[in-house]
Amino acid sequence: MKIKHIEARPYQPPLRKFFGRTTRLGFGELKGLEYGLVKITADDGQSGYGEISTVFEPTGSLLCRLVEESIAPALLGQDPRQIGRIHSIMDHIVEGMEPAKAGVDIAIYDLVGKALNIPVYQLLGGRVREEIPLSFSIMFGEPEEMAALAADLVRTGFKTLKIKVGQPLATDEAAVRLIRESVGDNITIRVDANMAWKTPKQALATLKRLEPYNIELAEQPLSGWDMDGMTYVRSHSPIPIMADESVWAPRTALQVIKANAADYISVYVAESGGLYRAAQIFSMSEAAGIPNAIGSMPETGIGTAAEIHLAAAMANLTLASDVCGSRYFEEDHLTSPLDVHKGLATIPKGPGLGVEINHNCHQNWELKTAGQTLE
């Protein structure tokens, strides 16, 4: 079995507008997200699909060009079952650019799973759970709006809520207070600053104000590169700290672990560079005694399915996770929606990722410069 063809096409999924406005969070507004769909075809005609998803620069268009012009030529003729070798080749070609590598990686896993007639989670070590408890993010809004959404989410079965913080301190505190009042004491609440706070002093001042509301953890209080600041905040915070944007490929996870910069580590398929590297970060965290969650970019259907398979197979996943990224979009491009109900995600059935793309829907998302739809 050899890789015969690789193509990547950028697209813009229709992001849901919370509270009728453009989505805002700690590092800014999310407007026209630009992702990429990767298709890898083997010499036996089998195909697998992957997703390039990122809210950061470079965008999907540039990452799709990177895949087609640099990564693809080096992978043609390679055996897709040799996933470790595939990653070594990609890392030799380009440093970083993890979302592009993740798109290729997911497509490889989907292809190999289909070829072997097994689900992706079997390729990751086998299933350790049937369902994945979910968290859902509440984006910036007026405190009353955020509390109303929180109550609606709890009514549909969500038991963990992630409140985006990084607005003025009084607004953050009011939102957290109203949400706690609206959902009661039995719902888990965590906060996520998305790097919004500029100094450890600012971060700690806010965390101390939020402490009375029974907060499970605070995610990424400072910039991803500020390891000294993260370590300081963790050692002085009344709320446990989760690293997110500080963790991309395994090498940065190692920096977080060595610096004692986090009580928890959030693992992303896109930020890790794919399922293969994400599983490595899980192993590193487990060896260091640090529990994990899975974060969402957010992904559309293909990427979310990949996260669900990862969640199904990772024993060190001990926290509710954001593996419902497709719920943050107005519509999805799968023929059948992912099974997300009562705050739980269920593993898709079937070989590979277990999902199929609705190409008519996806064609409506493609950028005008993207060429033909991948079918």
Distances (CA, A) of 33 to 4, 57, 89, 214: 30, 10, 28, 34
Residue 141 has pLDDT above 60, yes or no: yes
Residue 363 has pLDDT above 90, yes or no: no
Cross-sheet strand order for the sheet of 131-133: 131-133, 344-346, 340-341
Nearest to 106 by CA among 345, 284, 369, 353: 353
Look up residue 140 and give its two tokens: 């910036």
Residue range 128-147: mean pLDDT, rounded:
96
Residue 21 has pLDDT above 90, yes or no: no
User: Tell me: the pLDDT tens digits for 217-248?
Assistant: 999 999 999 999 999 999 999 999 999 999 99
Query: What is the rounded CA–CA span in Å between residue 20 and residue 324?
Result: 21
* Number of residues in the chain: 375
Nearest to 179 by CA among 139, 207, 237, 208: 139
Helical H segments across the chain, by residue range: 60-66, 72-75, 83-93, 98-116, 120-123, 143-155, 169-183, 200-210, 227-236, 250-258, 269-272, 275-288, 301-313, 359-365
CATH of 3-118+357-365, one of 3.30.2350.10, 2.30.31.10, 3.30.390.10, 3.10.129.10: 3.30.390.10
Query: What is the rounded CA–CA span in Å between residue 298 and residue 54?
Result: 8
Burial 278-299 (b: 16+ CB within 10 A, else e): bbbbbebbbeeebbbbbbbbbb
Query: What is the rounded CA–CA span in Å between residue 174 and residue 153?
Result: 19
Q: Which residues contact 169 (CB under 8 A, 6 or more apart)?
A: 205, 206, 209
Query: What is the rounded CA–CA span in Å between residue 297 and residue 274?
Result: 13
User: Tell me: the pLDDT tens digits for 64-97?
Assistant: 999 999 999 999 999 999 999 999 999 999 999 9
* Dihedral angle computed from the Cα positions of residues 240, 283, 339 and 16, in that order, rounded to the nearest 10 degrees: 50
Residue 372 has pLDDT above 80, yes or no: no
Which residues in the chain are classed under CATH 3.30.390.10? 3-118+357-365
Residue range 348-373: mean pLDDT, rounded:
80
Q: How confident is the model at residue 374 (pLDDT cuts 50, 70, 90)?
A: low
Q: Average pLDDT over the chain, rounded to whole? A: 94
Backbone CA torsion sign across 319, 332, 11, 118:
positive
Q: What is the pLDDT of residue 370?
A: 47
Q: Hey, how many other C-beta atoms are within 10 angstroms of the C-beta on 58?
A: 15
Q: For residue 324, which amino acid is it? A: C
Q: What is the pLDDT of residue 193?
A: 96
Nearest to 262 by CA among 231, 289, 287, 238: 231
What's the first-to-final CA gap in the chain, in angstroms? 20
Distances (CA, A) of 135 to 102, 162, 171, 213, 348: 23, 6, 22, 18, 19
User: Which letter does DSSP use for residue 7 in this model?
Assistant: E
% of the chain surpassing 70 pLDDT: 98
Backbone CA torsion sign across 235, 259, 201, 174:
negative
Which residues in the chain are classed under CATH 3.20.20.120? 123-346
Residue range 170-176: mean pLDDT, rounded:
97
Q: Which residue has the higher pLDDT, 204 or 22?
A: 204
Q: What is the pLDDT of residue 359?
A: 84
Say which CATH topology domain 123-346 has: TIM Barrel (3.20.20)
Q: What is the pLDDT of residue 371?
A: 47
% of the chain surpassing 90 pLDDT: 84
Query: DSSP letters of 156-216?
Result: TT--EEEEE--S-HHHHHHHHHHHHHHH-TTSEEEEE-TT---SHHHHHHHHHHHGGG-EE
In DSSP terms, 346 is beta-bridged to 131
- Residues 12, 33 contacting (CB under 8 angstroms): yes
